[in-house]
Amino acid sequence: MRKDLRLELRSGESTLALLALSMLVLVVLVFALGAARVRSVDAAAGALWVAMVFAGMLGANRALLAERDNGAIRGLLLSPLDPSTLYAAKLCAALIFMAVAEVGAVILMVLFFNLDFDASMARLAPILVLGAIGFSALATLLSAITGRTRGGDMLLPILAVPIFVPALIAGVKASAAALAGAPFESMGDWLKIMIAFDVLFVTAGYLLFEHVVGGE
Amino acid sequence: MPAPVVETRSLAKTYGPAVVLREVQLRLLAGAGAFIIGGNGAGKSTLLRILAGLEAPSDGQALVFGQDTRRLAARYRRRIGLMAHQSFLYPNLTARENLEFYAELYSLADPRACAHQWLGRVGLAEVADTRVRAFSRGMEQRLSVARAMLAEPALLLLDEPFASLDHDGAEIVAALIRGAVERGACVLATTHGIPEIDGVELAVFEISRGRLMQHAHKEEVRRGGRIRSLLGR
C-alpha cells in the first residue's frame, strides 16, 4: 500500500481525476435540478452518492492499473505475499483514494447545494465511510476481473453499479436523513444494510481475490 | 539420488486447439544450468511460466522442489526467481525503489542494502535514483535480472536473459548466471542462441513442435542445420 501511495503522490493522476469527476457530476446535477431543488437535502444526498460511485470506480481501476504495467501483478503473485494480503492492500489504497474524493465531494456539495457546515456533516461521516468501504471492496474485486478483459474499464460500471444498488439506496436515504438533522436511531435500518453489504463484500474479496487474479 | 529441483511428467499445454507443449519430460538437479532453445512461439516462455506456477498445465505434471506448481505454497514460491518478457517493474518508481519494494516483499533483512548491492552488481548504481520509465530496454532488462535474483533463489528461470543487452550487459548477466550455478542454484534459461558462459557446463534442450529434446552437448546443437540457422552460423 505504501508503494501505491508513493506512486500516487508522485503522479497525482488518480486524486486529480477523482476530484475533477466529482466536481463535474455535482455541477451537472446542480444545473439539471434547477434553483428550486438546490436546497433540497434529498437532491444533495443523491448527487453526492452519484459523484462517489463514479469516483470509486475510477479509484479502484487505478489501484490495479499500476500492477498491470510491465506485468507487475505476476511479480506479486510469484512472491511469498499472500493474495489475500494483496487484496487488503489494494482495498486500503482504493479506500484512501475514495476518501479523498469524498472529502472534496462533500465540500463541493455544501457549496453547490447551499447547505451549512454544521453538526449534520458529522452525522454524514460514518455513512460515507460505510459506503466507501463497501464500494471499494466490491470495485477492487471486480476490477481484478474486468482488468483482464478487453474493454474492462467499460465492464466495471456495468457489473459494479447494479450490485451496489442496495447499499447505494441505503446510503442515499441515510445521507438525506443525516443532512436533514435526523438522529442516528431513525436511520438504523439503512445503516444495517450498509454494514451487511460491507461485511459481505470485504469477506468475498478476501476469499476470492486469489482465484480472480490467479490466472493473470 | 538427490531430489530434482525441476521435474515435469508428460507435461502438456494447449490454448484452445493450439498445442504448445506436449509430453514434456524434464529433470534438473540443484546446481544444474540448462538452456532451452527454440523459435518464436515454440513454447519456451510457456514452460517457464508453468514452472513458476503462473500458468497451469493442461495435462501432466510440473513439480518444483517436489511440489506441484498448481499449488505452490509461499515458502516454495520465495525460492523461485523468474525473469520474464515483462519486467515486473514499476515505471514510476526508481530502480532503487523497485528493488527495495521486492526486497521487502521477500522479507530480506536489509532491503536498502540489498537493493544497493544488486544495483552495483548489474552496473546500474549510477542510475539508482532514476525512474525505470526513463531506462532503455537493456537497462530495464538488467534491473529485471537483479529483481529475479534479489532473494538468491534456488530455482532461477530466465526468459531470454541476453535479449536487448549490449556486450557489457551480456557479460554481467553471464557472470550472474555462473555465480548462481556455483552457489548451487538450478538455472533454466531460454534463448535463441547459445551463449558461452565460462566455467559452467550447460545442458541444452530444444523445443520443436511442442516437444522437448535434450542435446548431449552444445557442439551437437551447433552441428544441426536448423539450429545453425537459428544461431546465424
Question: Residues in chain B with pLDDT < 70?
Answer: 1, 194-199, 216-233
Judged by CB atoms closer than 8 Å, whether chains meet at B101 and A3 is answered as yes
A167 — pLDDT class (breaks 50, 70, 90): very high
Sorted by where each begins, the domain ranges of chain B are 1-79+153-233, 84-150
Judged by CB atoms closer than 8 Å, whether chains meet at B80 and A78 is answered as yes
pLDDT of residue B98: 95
Question: Domain B1-79+153-233 carries which CATH code?
Answer: 3.40.50.300
Phi, psi of A70 (to 5 degrees): 55, 20
Query: How many structural domains is chain A composed of?
Result: 1
Give CA–CA dist B95/B99, Å, rounded.
6
Residue-range definition of the domain harbouring residue A60: 2-213
Query: Is the ipTM beyond the 0.85 threshold?
Result: no
Chain A within 8 Å of B90 (Cβ-Cβ)?
yes
Residue A21: count other Cβ atoms within 10 Å of its Cβ: 19
Helix-strand-coil split of chain A, %, nearest 5: 85, 0, 15
- CA-to-CA dists, residue B33 to A216, B68, B152, B196, B197, angstroms: 28, 21, 15, 12, 10
Specify whether the CB–CB gap between B132 and B89 falls below 8 A: yes
Judged by CB atoms closer than 8 Å, whether chains meet at B86 and A74 is answered as yes
> Which of A187-191, A211-215, B62-66, B127-131 has the weakest average pLDDT?
A211-215
* DSSP bridge partners of B13: B21
Specify whether the CB–CB gap between B148 and B78 falls below 8 A: no
Between A11 and A80, the more confident residue is: A80
Q: Could you read off the pLDDT of A122-146 as tens digits, one per residue?
A: 889 999 999 999 999 998 888 888 8
Which residues in A lie closer than 8 A to residue B147 (C-beta atoms)? Answer: 75
pLDDT > 70: percent of chain A: 93
Which among A6, A7, A78 has CB closest to B54? A78
Give CA–CA dist B196/B198, Å, rounded.
6
Judged by CB atoms closer than 8 Å, whether chains meet at B90 and A216 is answered as no
Which residues in A lie closer than 8 A to residue B100 (C-beta atoms)? Answer: none
- Cell 478487453, residue located: A150
Judged by CB atoms closer than 8 Å, whether chains meet at B54 and A216 is answered as yes
Chain A within 8 Å of B112 (Cβ-Cβ)?
no
Specify whether the CB–CB gap between B32 and B5 falls below 8 A: yes
